[in-house]
Every structure is written in structure tokens, then in C-alpha cells.
Amino acid sequence: MTKYNEEFKLMVVQDYLSGSLGYRMIAKKYGVGASPLRRWVRAYQEFGRSGLTVKKKKQFYSVQFKLDVLNFMKRTGASYQDTAIHFNLNDPTLITSWNRRFLKEGIEGLLEKSKGRPSMSRKPKSTAKKQEKTMSREEQLERENELLRLEVAYLKKLKAFRENPNALFEKYKQSSPSNLNKKDFD
């Protein structure tokens, strides 16, 4: 959501263009900064009313386009606003962010990064298979033996539980110890 809507920007720009007050006075009158007001006026002069609109659909730019924009700005010494107008962009802050990311991260900073949490992979994790490949034949057999022992122990407990389901509860019933009632305080 934008801070200022298109109608407000248009009203402020037209008030400035009427010529009665300067940037600072208009900015103070409407409670906006002088910098955004300058950008709005320049965008309105170059692109008309469409220069003040905020695009609803996100525009994606290629890495090559971003590099061309930054190279043009570097070669000519143009400001962010002049560069934006030259490339028909109505938002010079976009170029500012590209430049900042390029200086910090290089070309990788200009690549589009996916937002949000990465989706879950549909491929099953193959860590178990990788472990088996690195284990020797003897280790694999020992692992298989261990798994078979666990399976047999589980099946024995399951069989015992099916034969007498209450045996488990009887085993773990605790009788109250008689020494709990005694007081050993001296």
C-alpha cells in the first residue's frame, strides 16, 4: 500500500505548477517531503498523470536491463531521476536499490530472488541411501542384523500384549511403599 494516492499527488503537483509557492512551502503545506515532491513534479512533467500512478502489477526487469541502466548512469553521470526518465521508469528509487545491491553483492544482487518460504521438495530424501553406499559390506550386514533383532523384539512384545493386554498395566502398577508414611525428621 502506498503512502500517498494518485489524486493527492496530482493535487500537490498542480498546486506547485500553479507557480505560487516553491518546493519547500508546498511540501510544508501538505505535510510531505521536498524530495518526493520534486520526483512527483518531474515524473508528471515527463509522463503526465501516468507518472504519478503506482503500478499494481510488479514489473520484472532482466539483469541485462538493470546493468544497462546502471552503466548509462555511470557513463553519463546522470542522476537517478534523469536515468529513470531516460529508460521510461517512473520510480527512481528502483534504480537506487539496484545500484545499492550491485555495489554490495555484484551481479548476483541484481538477480530476482524468490520470496517467501521455499516449497517442499517432492523428491524423498536420499540420505539413507547415501549412508548405505558409504558403509562397507560388513557394516551393512551388522545394520541389517540390528534391524532384524529390533523387529523380532517388537513382534514378541506385540504378541504378549495381544495375549494379555492387562499384563502391561499390572507390571507398572506401583504399590504404595510403607515407609512413605513414616516421618524421618529429627
Average pLDDT over residues 177-186: 52
Q: What is the pLDDT of residue 12?
A: 82
What percentage of the chain carries pLDDT values higher than 90? 7
CA dist., res. 33 & res. 39, Å (int): 10
Q: Is the pLDDT of residue 120 over 50?
A: yes
What percentage of the chain carries pLDDT values higher than 70? 80
Helix pair angle (23-30, 6-17), 10° resolution: 140
What cell does 97 get? 536499490
CA dist., res. 126 & res. 133, Å (int): 11
Q: Which residues contact 35 (CB under 8 A, 6 or more apart)?
A: none
Give Cα 29 distance to the centre of its chain.
38
Q: Is the pLDDT of residue 109 over 90?
A: no
Pick from 45, 41, 47: nearest CA to 21: 41
Name residue, grid cell 548405505: 132
Amino acid at 171: K
CA dist., res. 127 & res. 143, Å (int): 15
The 8-class DSSP code of residue 104 comes to: H
Which of 49-58, 85-94, 153-162 is predicted with the least confidence, judged by mean pLDDT? 49-58
Confidence (pTM): 0.47
The 8-class DSSP code of residue 55 comes to: P
Average pLDDT over residues 65-81: 88
* Confidence grade of residue 93 (pLDDT, cut at 50, 70, 90): confident
